[in-house]
Structure 1
C-alpha cells in the first residue's frame, strides 16, 4: 500500500483535502457522479442541493471542487478519474493515462526494476509504472499533492509516496528515474508558463546529471521546447493525441532506442503511427535547397503538430513524393494523394492571391455559409476573417468551403481546398 506522505507543514489546499478524507466527506464525494459538476451551472446546482441537504458549507465547497476536477480528469483518465483525487495544478500537468502506460513500457522493456518518480504530481505516471509491476517510489515536495498521490496509489502495494524535495532524494538502489518537472510559476496574479528549461523544477541540467550517472532516465517536457535545448545524449519523442501535441519526452541510456534521435508519435482513433529520424533537426536544409519546393497543386498536406514540432516535415513529405510550398512553411503538396495518419490531406481546387475584398466576393458568389480557415505564415486571425468574409451572406446557406492561407516567398495566397476523407 502507498505510504502516508511525510508532513513538513501545511500547504494551500490541505484543508479541503482533509475534509474530503474524513469518512463523511469521502462517502459524500463518492456518492456523486462527476457529470453533476461538468460545467459552471451544473456545479452551482450541485452546490445548492448539497447545502439544502444540510451538509456543512466548507465540506460542500470541497466536494463540489473535487467533483469538478474529476469531471475534467475523465479526458485524461477515463473512468479511473471517478475514484481519484486531484489538485488543479496536478491535473493540469498530469500525464494522460494512455501515455503514462507508454512511458512505463520503456522502463519494462529496458529491464528496469526499481523506479523513482521525481516530482510525481498526483501520481499518474507512478500509477502506470506500478501497474507494470515495477517497484515505484513517488517523490513530491508539495504536501497536498503528495497526499493526493498517496490516495491514488493506495491500490498498489509496490508503490509508495515520499513527501520530499526531488533534487535531494537518495537514489541509492534505483536503476530508473522518471521526471515531470514543474513548468509553471505561481504569483499573486496567477500561474504562468515557464519556457527556459533551467527554470523548470527540477531543471533540465539536473536530469542530464542523473543520466550521466548511468541511470535509465526519462523526462517529460513541454512540446514547445526548442531543438537547441535537447540534450545531445538522448532520444527526443514528440507525442500528439487526437491532434493535440501533449508532450516531448527525452529518453536517456537504455530507455533510448538505437538509431533514433527524433521521433513523432501520432495517436488517433485508429491507433498510433510513428515517424523517426537518426539525426538532429536541420532547420536550414530547405533553405539550402536540400528539400524540394514547388507550387500549390494536386494535394495539400497539413502535417500533424507532433511531426512539425519534431522537425520531421521533410521526412514526411519524402514518403509521399511531395514538395514544400515555401522553405519556411510546414505545408507541402504532392501530385498524387497518398493516405497517411501523420498529416491531413486536402485536394487543391483553386489558388488565388490573398485579398479580403476578392475573397468576400467569392464567398457571396458561391453562396458559402460555412467557412473553415487554416493559416501558416500570415498574421491573420481566422475567426475574425471568417466574420468579415461571411458578413451579409445570410445564415440560410449550408454550403461549406475550406481556405488555406499561407505565404509563398514574399506573396500571400488563399488556397481553396477540399478535405480528403
Structure 2
C-alpha cells in the first residue's frame, strides 16, 4: 500500500513524539484498571525516540539479540529505563513483521495491541470494501495501533481513528503521522458521534490486560465495545464492518449481516461481520483464504443452521484415495460441503470435516494427502508400528478424538530407536462410533 498525498518522513516525527509523550503524562490521573501496562514515555522522549530510530531493523531479531543490544546500549551510557523501553520496542517491531510487513519497522507498538492488530494484507481487503462501496469518510472505533486506519488512509479514505486507551492512542498517533487524511481521537468509542461519517469500522477489544499478560474474552457482550453496540449502529442505518475472533459461534452472528471468516497462511485470523451496504447481495457466509496463491473465497446465501440440516442428509463413504483437510476458514464458515463437491469427494462422517476423493484435485480451500493405510486407533499397536517402521519424525492431526497430538507423539516415539529417521503423518478421526488412525503422505 502507498500513502496518498504528501508523506512526512517517518524518522522525523519528533513533533508527534513530543505530542504523544505529553498525552501520556495525563495517565497519572487515569485509573489503573483503564491503563495499558506498557509505558511508552521513555520511547517517545527525545533520547528514546532518537535511539530507537538509530537501530537497524534486525537489531532485536531474536531474544538473544535483544539481550545483547540491551547490554551494549547500557555500556554506552544510555539511561537504563530508556534502553529497556527502546529494546522492548525494537523486539516488538521484529515480531510484528509477519503481521505488518515493512510498516513494522517504523511503528510504535504495544504487546497487547500487536496481538490484536489486523495483518496489513487483510487490512487492505477491509479498506477496499469501503472504497468499493463508494464511501469517503470512515470512523475507526477502537483503532488499536491503527493498522486498519493505515490501510484506509492509504486508499485515500478520510479516517478518524478513535481509541480509549491513552498509551495505545499515543502509539496510533505516531503510526498515522504519514497520512494527512487520518487523525486519532482519544475517546470512548461508544460515546463518539458518528453522524458525520459515511460508515464505521470496529475492532473491539477482545482481551484483558494485566501485569501478568493478556487473556482472551469470548463473550461478544464482554467485548469493548460489545456486539450489541455494533448492532445498534447498524439498526440506526449506519453501514458497519466489525472484526471479531474466529471462534464466534454461528448462533451469535446477527441475522442481518454477512459473516466472513478469514485465514492467512493456513491460520484463521478473524471473523468479519458486514452490515448495511457493506454487505454483499446474496452472501450470508463466506470463507476468505489468503495464501501464496493470493486470495480465494467461497460464499453461500444460506445460514449455518440450514447448512447443518443439509449436511445430515449427505451420503458418506469409506476412506480411500486422497484425504482432504479443509482450511480452517472453510470449516468455521460451514462451507466444507462446497469443497467436497468441487473435488468430487464424500464425507467420512456428517460431523467431521475430513473428506476423501478418488483423485487429488488442487484447491486453495483444502490440503490433500494420499491415503497409505487405515488402522484402528490403538496406542499400543501404533507404538509397535512406529518402532517397526523406523519412524523418528511423526506429524499427528486429529478431529473428533479427545487426544492431545503432542502427548501422543511423545508416547509413540518413546520406543523408536535413536537411528529412526523416517517421517510419517497420522490423521486421527472418528467415523461413526469407531476411531481410526489413517497413515497419509502430503501431496
Query: Could you tell me the TM-score, scaled by structure 1's length?
Result: 0.95
Q: Does 2:165 correspond to 1:142? A: yes
**In 2, are the aligned partners of 1:286 and 1:327 still within 8 Å (CA)?**
no
**In 2, are the aligned partners of 1:16 and 1:59 still within 8 Å (CA)?**
no
Structure-2 residue corresponding to 1:258: 281
Aligned residues: 419
Structure-2 residue corresponding to 1:209: 232
**In 2, are the aligned partners of 1:197 and 1:204 still within 8 Å (CA)?**
yes
Structure-1 residue corresponding to 2:262: 239
In structure 1, C-alpha distance between the alignment counterparts of 2:36 and 2:165, rounded to whole Å: 10
> Structure 1 residues 346 and 92, CA, compared in 2 at 3 Å: closer, same or farther?
same
Q: Does 2:44 correspond to 1:21? A: yes
**In 1, are the aligned partners of 2:36 and 2:165 still within 8 Å (CA)?**
no
1:257-276 matches, within 5 Å, as: 257-276=280-299
- Structure 1 window deviating more from structure 2 (76-85 vs 112-121): it is 76-85
Structure-1 residue corresponding to 2:356: 333
Structure-1 residue corresponding to 2:202: 179
Structure-2 residue corresponding to 1:277: 300
1:11-410 matches, within 5 Å, as: 12=35, 16-187=39-210, 189-282=212-305, 284-285=308-309, 288-289=312-313, 291-410=314-433
- Structure 1 window deviating more from structure 2 (322-331 vs 32-41): it is 32-41
**In 2, are the aligned partners of 1:286 and 1:292 still within 8 Å (CA)?**
no
Query: Could you tell me the TM-score, scaled by structure 2's length?
Result: 0.91
Q: Output one character per residue of 1:90-112: Cα deviation in whole Å (capped at 9) or x when no partner.
A: 11111011111000000000001
Q: CA deviation at 1:48?
A: 0.6
In structure 2, C-alpha distance between the alignment counterparts of 1:136 and 1:387, rounded to whole Å: 51
Query: What secondary structure, in the 3-state scheme, does the structure 2 residue paired with 1:341 have?
Result: coil
> Structure 1 residues 125 and 399, CA, compared in 2 at 3 Å: closer, same or farther?
same
In structure 2, C-alpha distance between the alignment counterparts of 1:34 and 1:381, rounded to whole Å: 38
In structure 2, C-alpha distance between the alignment counterparts of 1:13 and 1:239, rounded to whole Å: 28
Instruction: Provide structure 1 residue ranges, at least 5 long, that are not aligned to the other structure.
Output: none
Instruction: Provide structure 2 residue ranges, at least 5 long, that are not aligned to the other structure.
Output: 1-7
> Structure 1 residues 41 and 338, CA, compared in 2 at 3 Å: closer, same or farther?
same
Query: What secondary structure, in the 3-state scheme, does the structure 1 residue paired with 2:309 have?
Result: coil
**In 1, are the aligned partners of 2:220 and 2:226 still within 8 Å (CA)?**
yes
> Structure 1 residues 184 and 228, CA, compared in 2 at 3 Å: closer, same or farther?
same
Q: CA deviation at 1:355?
A: 0.8
> Structure 1 residues 399 and 286, CA, compared in 2 at 3 Å: closer, same or farther?
farther
**In 1, are the aligned partners of 2:311 and 2:337 still within 8 Å (CA)?**
no
In structure 2, C-alpha distance between the alignment counterparts of 1:14 and 1:391, rounded to whole Å: 43
Q: Output one character per residue of 1:238-277: Cα deviation in whole Å (capped at 9) or x when no partner.
A: 0000001000001111111111110001111121111111
**In 2, are the aligned partners of 1:7 and 1:163 still within 8 Å (CA)?**
no
Q: Does 2:443 correspond to 1:415? A: no
> Structure 1 residues 376 and 219, CA, compared in 2 at 3 Å: closer, same or farther?
same
RMSD value over aligned CA atoms?
Answer: 1.9
